[in-house]
Amino acid sequence: MTVTTEWPSGLPIGDGWVETEGTTDVVFPYDGSLVARAPLGTPELAAAALDAALAAAPAMAALPSHARRAALMRAHDTLRDRQEDFERLLVLETGKPLVDCRVEVARTLVTLTTAAEEVARLHGETVPLDLLPSGEGLVGFWTRRPVGVVVGITGYNYPLLLAAHKIAPSVAAGCPVIVKPAPATPLATLWLVHLLRDALPAGAVQLVTGDVEVGRRLVEDRRIGAVSFTGSAAAGHAIARNAAPTKVLLELGSNAALVVAADADLEAAADAVVRGGYYASGQACISVQRVLVEEPVREAFLSLLAERVKDVAVGDPRLPETRVAPLIDGPATDRVLEWVAASGAEPLTGGHRDGRAIAPTVLAGVPDGAAAWDEEIFGPVVCVRSVPDLDTAFAAVNKSRYGLHVAVFTRSLATAFAAIERIDAGGVVVNEVPGFRADNMPYGGVKDSGIGREGPRFAIEELTVTRMAIIRP
């Protein structure tokens, strides 16, 4: 099941494509068949990309706004014209169901257009310097300038979209960017980089594949301006340490909670848990993992949830009806099943293999201290716990070391605003899945879920620095 690439061979480094000595197999998680042999980078190639990016920085900073916007829109238009091809490629390299890959491409298109629009809004302000007598007669204003070379490191679960979250704001801000995709899923990102390179200065957008040593070579270089990483908390912490004192933007993991109040629309809440817990086969940082239900509606809610889980289609991700497919690889599957077994909870549904996949799983009564509750499971597993009241629910949500997105289902406006005020997370979503995300909003977490915000407008601010001008005429 090999795929013919739509870009030159090798890695896009400097002003060309550099052949590599090694390759790595990209396999289809559904059946283990070979999709492609991807070029394998090295620390030496990472160093070459850094040198090329630094050389490109002056030209990128000076690139007119219309040229940056045009480059992003050109990539958008080409991707839109080849949308189905990108969707099929993502299914093959990630193993995600087709429905989720369609969402990924659609969101990538929004990210590119939003970043292009934000180019026109990169501006500064005048500052009244005469608030002090010594400032009388001075003229002051500030502008935004590119932070410098950006290193973007992405995860395997949404490779195209996560790369766009790094590349599009960097280009809009006038920063050269080097992307390091996850080793298992480099193909769609290679294609996206190819779409952008012709319209930008040489070395403005590059990609290097490889292992941890490649990543370390990129983030430890003191000449770069920022590192933007999406992945696990443990990896993000290591990158922050290795990159210091360089600025880091970290979009890390979570164990997203969904609170069901006694007055909630239980059918809508059950639908949301199924929709939010099993999309992308559970391999999303804001998949529903922890469900806290007020005790009076526990049994009714569990009954509704169990009925809905039965209808979740498991199987071939290429089929439009599939909602859960095999995880990225065997070790990921083994780990999830180990966490389920170690939870001490009896699965209400699932908890076992369904072919190479994991059957959609619901665990009831998982205690604190169990990895399936405390950590990010990254699989099709939902844990349900009853609580006596909303105060207990909010306290349980906040007890986690994570804080990305949390959902609350209620008919009460007072409860909704109490949740928004009291829950410690980057986003609180009322009567919708915690995984709801628009790519033009500030997205990010608190605590071990990261630092900084994505979404083109907000990422562009992160990737620029203010420059103050003070003039005595």
Query: How far is CA 101 from each of CA 23, 46, 245, rounded to the nearest angstrom?
Result: 25, 29, 36
Residue 117 is among the residues annotated as catalytic for this protein: no
CA 323 to chain centre: 20
Burial of 133 (0-12, 13-18, 19+ CB in 10 A): exposed
- Which one of 285, 375, 376, 454 is the catalytic residue? 285
- Which one of 87, 93, 251, 454 is the catalytic residue? 251
- Which token pair is 107? 């969101």
- Amino acid (1-letter code) at residue 292: L
Distance, CA of 117 to CA of 456 (rounded, Å): 9
DSSP reduced 3-state for 412: coil
In this structure, are residues 136 and 107 in contact, taking their beta carbons and an 8 Å threshold?
no
DSSP reduced 3-state for 343: coil
Residue 251 is among the residues annotated as catalytic for this protein: yes
DSSP reduced 3-state for 161: helix
Distance, CA of 350 to CA of 366 (rounded, Å): 15
Burial of 313 (0-12, 13-18, 19+ CB in 10 A): middle
Residues noted as catalytic: 251, 285
